[in-house]
């Protein structure tokens, strides 16, 4: 169960990071509210997961999921470009997260 919560928290990390960007320095209300709600839920889920999963592993998995998904969202929204190097590095990052789960 802790792993499911951790993955969901990683997904919420991408939500809050994207909302933070969309808030334009907290000047837009909806993205700012979404940022705060997603941030709190993401942190709460990470804290819960860390009761069972070692801190380093939990944090690496959480940040990895959030970083990959945030980048994918930016690419889909055409805010960033997908290059061959970026694609390979994202695949390596996903592989690393899976590897941490496998050995953790």
Helices 2-22 & 55-76 angle (0-180, nearest 10):
40
- Domain residue ranges in the chain: 2-103
**pTM assigned to the model:** 0.86
Token match 């991408």: residue?
14
pLDDT of residue 64: 92
Alpha-carbon distance 49 to 56, whole Å? Answer: 12
Residues 44-78 pLDDT 10s: 999 999 999 999 899 999 999 999 999 999 999 99
Residues 12-39 pLDDT 10s: 999 999 999 999 999 999 999 999 999 9
pLDDT of residue 104: 65
Radius of gyration of the CA atoms of the chain, in A: 14
């Amino acid at each position: 169960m802790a792993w499911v919560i951790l993955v969901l928290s990683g997904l919420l990390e991408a939500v809050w990071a994207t909302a933070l960007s969309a808030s334009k320095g907290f000047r837009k209300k909806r993205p700012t509210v979404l940022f705060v709600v997603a941030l709190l839920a993401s942190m709460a889920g990470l804290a819960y997961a860390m009761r069972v999963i070692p801190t380093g592993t939990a944090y690496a998995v959480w940040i990895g999921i959030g970083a990959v998904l945030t980048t994918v969202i930016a690419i889909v929204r055409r805010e960033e470009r997908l290059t061959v190097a970026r694609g390979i590095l994202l695949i390596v990052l996903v592989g690393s997260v899976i590897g941490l789960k496998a050995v953790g």
